[in-house]
């Protein structure tokens, strides 16, 4: 899942970005709202962590701007502004959650996971699909009850497919949500991850939709026989 962090404090922004990447997210860190607005317009973003005190227009301005144009991306405000009136204003401007700094990384990651589950209409913390079981908190994967070792990006790809089980996800969408800005994307990398998922789980777990992208395979993939 791709997270944009909008934070002008360099130490905090860098720390959040590294911490969220270590928690399994594809995270990018930007230092002002205009850059976040451009990133949002340019591609798929699953969630924004938004500071309020920013250079130029503040976070509330950008949040209102996004909601006015019916941008549905979940926004979690993470700010030093902790007054009751400020928290209410943030939520009423369209934020999905409001946290006052400092917040332990583990709690921030858990709140992000909760918002992402809701935004994908899969509120249950454990996602199952036939013989497959994915624990969204620990990011552990099981096939027919047995744990399966997946590389972090293989897990991230599986998570994206499970989050939208009815959808065909284009190659561009998957690449944008799997990789952050600075990463060079090998054009074959996606195919390699798909290949590994099929090998480690089941050949039918990922369906290729020719000329478009990939979708989750049928739930009965790997059922008895």
Which one among 8, 37, 58, 86 touches Ca ion, defined by CB under 5 A? 8
Which one among 43, 53, 147, 218 touches Ca ion, defined by CB under 5 A? 53
In the complex, minimum distance from the CB of residue 39 to Ca ion, in angstroms, rounded to a whole number: 18
CA distances from 132 to 73, 85, 200 (A): 28, 45, 11
Give me the phi and psi of 92, to 5 degrees please. -70, -20
In the complex, minimum distance from the CB of residue 33 to Ca ion, in angstroms, rounded to a whole number: 11
56 touching Ca ion, by CB under 5 A: no
Nearest partner of 77 among 39, 106, 47, 37, judged by Cα: 47
Identify which range of 44-52, 85-93, 94-102, 203-211 contacts Ca ion by CB under 5 A. Answer: 44-52
Burial of 25 (0-12, 13-18, 19+ CB in 10 A): buried
Please list, in sequence order, all residues whose beta carbon lies within 8 angstroms of the beta carbon of residue 171, skipping any fewer than 6 positions away: 190, 213, 214
The nearer residue to Ca ion, 81 or 113, going by C-beta atoms, is: 81
79 contacts 59 by C-beta, under 8 angstroms: yes
51 touching Ca ion, by CB under 5 A: yes
Q: Which of residues 81-100 bind Ca ion (CB under 5 A)?
A: none
43 touching Ca ion, by CB under 5 A: no
Task: Give residue 49's Cα distance to chain centre.
Answer: 11
Identify which range of 4-12, 86-94, 128-136, 142-150 contacts Ca ion by CB under 5 A. Answer: 4-12
The nearer residue to Ca ion, 3 or 52, going by C-beta atoms, is: 52
The site for Ca ion (CB under 5 A) is made up of: 8, 51, 53
């Amino acid at each position: 899942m791709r997270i944009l962090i909008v934070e002008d404090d360099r130490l905090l922004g860098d720390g959040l970005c590294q911490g969220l990447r270590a928690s399994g997210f594809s995270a990018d860190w930007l230092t002002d709202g205009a850059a976040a607005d451009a990133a949002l317009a340019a591609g798929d973003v699953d969630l924004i962590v938004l500071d309020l005190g920013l250079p130029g227009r503040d976070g509330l301005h950008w949040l209102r701007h996004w909601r006015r144009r019916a941008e549905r991306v979940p926004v979690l405000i993470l700010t030093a502004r902790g007054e009751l009136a400020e928290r209410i204003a943030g939520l009423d401007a369209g934020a999905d959650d409001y946290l006052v700094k400092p917040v332990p990384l583990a709690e921030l990651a858990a709140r992000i996971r909760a918002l992402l589950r809701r935004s994908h209409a899969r509120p249950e913390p454990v996602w199952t699909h036939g013989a497959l079981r994915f624990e969204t908190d620990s990011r552990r994967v099981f096939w027919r009850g047995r744990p399966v070792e997946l590389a972090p990006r293989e897990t991230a790809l599986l998570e994206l497919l499970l989050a939208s089980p009815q959808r065909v996800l284009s190659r561009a969408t998957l690449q944008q949500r799997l990789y952050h800005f600075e990463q060079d994307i090998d054009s074959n990398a996606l195919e390699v991850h798909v290949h590994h998922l099929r090998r480690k789980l089941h050949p039918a777990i990922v369906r290729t939709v020719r000329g478009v992208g990939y979708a989750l395979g049928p739930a009965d993939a790997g059922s008895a026989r």
